[in-house]
Structure 1
Amino acid sequence: MKAETAVYAAGAVCWRIIDGRMHVLLIHRTVHGDVTIPKGKVDPGESLPQTAVREIAEETGLEIALGVPIGISRYDMPNGREKVVHYWAGEVSDHALQHSTFKPNGEVAALEWVTVKRARTYLSYQPDVEILENFAALVDQGVTSTFPLILLRHGKAVSRGSWDGADAARPLSGHGVKEAAALVETLRAWQPTRIVSSPAIRCVTTVRPLSAATAVKVKLDDRISQDAWTTGDADVRRVIGKRVRSGRAAVVCSHGPVLPEIVREVALATSTPLGSYVTDAAELEPGGFSVAHLSATNSGSGIIAIETHAPRV
């Protein structure tokens, strides 16, 4: 089957604790008469994380932040096209429940919170059960409650050869400005509450649109700048250690040469054995980012998952 015929979609296993027990949210669809995990097709121009959050809001009335990626389903639709669905976990907060806008409609007849055990028998489709089992594995490991550290490389800058000022003042190119704008809705899928950036203009300009959209101020920190890294004055360990201890969703924007050390320090701060994933997660194109998912309850339990996203323009 040709890749261009595939239909892409995204969704999430939404979860919360009720009376001390893990429950997940299932939807009863009106037209199909089935029970599924909330998901939906990618709209033109959307990223998969953006789609997941939008579809959850549209189908369930709940605003969530994405958690750990929990798998990809692939199956053939009745028309012969392949459907590829990316899933994340998504904790539903009390605030989200209180502000739910769900009403039964032509697409979704009802929502139901059930235990993982019951969900196994309720779900209408085997691919959904397989995704549920991936989530159940996180539950068994006690690592469902997580927070993300988003490690971002600045957007494409003007070339050094065409710039005669200080390197820290080198701005984004026109393409880099577009990359910065395109990042906003995707990064908002994880609801970052902190933005830390190298003071270099190309980094600050990359995160400025996100800051404007979220009202989260940018904290400049020279300890993750390329200049400090070049002179040996960088202090990535302290910057990353603080972010790990905080337990808050954060974006850290830095430079290509500094990113391997940043990823390494995330691993060391969480007692994660070093491996090839460290290199892979740090090999980012300008405007690309990796998301390290860490336990919110036990920082020493290691990196739960890492996902990497290429620039979208």
Structure 2
Amino acid sequence: MRARIGVKRCSPREVDRAVWVSPEQARTLLTRSSDRAPFDALTDLWDEGALETKAFVVLRHARAKKRSAWKGGEVDRPLTAQGLHHAVDLTGTLSAFGVDRVASSPWERCMATVRPYSELADTPVEMVPEITEAEAKRSPAQARRVFAKLLLGLRSSKRASGGEPGTVVCVHRPVLPLLLEVLAERAPNRVKALLPSVNPYLRTGEMLVAHVLPRHRRGVRVIAVERHRVPR
């Protein structure tokens, strides 16, 4: 991907030898018995196809100027200087999760949050009017349907360059509960318990990464979640 940031190689002093081996051989090479249980769990998940997930990233926009300090309207209220820097910092993490579809509320503070990544990855931003604060408040059911459609889109999405594609959706804090409801409907109880449930749900510029199994016997299934706030 164009947005992929180079990774600095570790010091040669840290590695004696690098070699590819089969999973069976790898297990015999583990010197600590406590390492075998997680290794066995990993290989079992691989055999079951449970590792073939796609990332669905829920991103709250970066820090915006306060309403009291902005003389314009909500539609064009911009990010602060700190928020703009944070938007740039997000590019590495979004790239790491293979994001190649970018959707956003068309309001400026959301668009500005994903714009650096969109430009770096040469991926246009899909503007979704139904998930602005105003529209989601007017019709929460429609906002939920749009979120569900974006999530279900992972079933058929393919990346020409290979690998599993991912989606990022940039939204406003008041809209987050609707999106979280959509994820909860498609998650087992152990994953539901990990979803944010207290306002503000996510901090500004923070992302919730849902790992989605697109071809599950119950349909699209959220099998794990993690949260990231990219440090400057």
Q: What band does the TM-score fall into relative to the shorter chain?
A: 0.7 to 0.9
1:57-88 residue CA offsets vs partner (Å, 9 max, x unmatched): x47xxxxxxxxxxxxxxxxxxxxxxxxxxxxx
Q: Which residue among 198, 223, 227 is the counterpart of 1:308?
A: 227
Q: Matched residues, percent identical?
A: 30
Task: Confirm or deny: 8 A CA contact 1:228 1:234 kept in the other structure.
Answer: no
Partner residue, 1:257: 174
Partner residue, 2:40: 133
Partner residue, 1:235: 142
Cα distance change, pair 183–128 in 1 and its aligned pair in 2 (3 A)? farther
Pairs within 5 Å for 1:197-276: 197-232=104-139, 235-247=142-154, 248-268=165-185, 270=186, 272-273=188-189, 275-276=192-193
SS at 1:260 equivalent: helix
Listed as ranges, the gaps of 5+ residues in structure 1 are 1-49, 60-103
TM-score (norm 1): 0.61
Whole-angstrom distance in 2 between the partners of 1:301 and 1:229: 23
Q: Which residue among 70, 73, 80 is the counterpart of 1:163?
A: 70
Task: Confirm or deny: 8 A CA contact 2:188 2:223 kept in the other structure.
Answer: no
Q: Which residue among 198, 209, 218 is the counterpart of 1:291?
A: 209
CA positional deviation for 1:168 = 1.6
Task: Confirm or deny: 8 A CA contact 2:55 2:98 kept in the other structure.
Answer: no
Match for 1:110: what amino acid?
Answer: A
CA positional deviation for 1:139 = 3.1
Match for 2:210: what amino acid?
Answer: A
1:18-46 residue CA offsets vs partner (Å, 9 max, x unmatched): xxxxxxxxxxxxxxxxxxxxxxxxxxxxx
1:209-254 residue CA offsets vs partner (Å, 9 max, x unmatched): 1111111111100111112123236623332222222224100000
Partner residue, 2:160: none
SS at 1:169 equivalent: coil
Whole-angstrom distance in 1 between the partners of 2:119 and 2:16: 34
Cα distance change, pair 251–108 in 1 and its aligned pair in 2 (3 A)? farther
Match for 1:258: what amino acid?
Answer: V
CA positional deviation for 1:122 = 1.8
CA positional deviation for 1:276 = 3.5
Task: Confirm or deny: 8 A CA contact 1:260 1:278 kept in the other structure.
Answer: no
Q: Which structure has more strand as a fraction of its residues?
A: 1
CA positional deviation for 1:293 = 0.3
Pairs within 5 Å for 1:1-313: 54=7, 58=9, 107=15, 109-115=17-23, 117-126=24-33, 128-139=35-46, 141-232=48-139, 235-247=142-154, 248-268=165-185, 270=186, 272-273=188-189, 275-280=192-197, 283-298=201-216, 300=219, 302-313=221-232
RMSD over aligned Cα atoms? 2.9
Task: Confirm or deny: 8 A CA contact 1:267 1:302 kept in the other structure.
Answer: no
CA positional deviation for 1:108 = 5.9
Cα distance change, pair 195–112 in 1 and its aligned pair in 2 (3 A)? same
1:184-220 residue CA offsets vs partner (Å, 9 max, x unmatched): 1111101111000000100000000111111111110
Cα distance change, pair 178–239 in 1 and its aligned pair in 2 (3 A)? same
Task: Confirm or deny: 8 A CA contact 1:285 1:311 kept in the other structure.
Answer: no
Cα distance change, pair 244–229 in 1 and its aligned pair in 2 (3 A)? closer
Higher RCO structure, 1 or 2 (CA under 8 Å, sep 6+):
2
Cα distance change, pair 308–271 in 1 and its aligned pair in 2 (3 A)? closer
Listed as ranges, the gaps of 5+ residues in structure 2 are 155-164
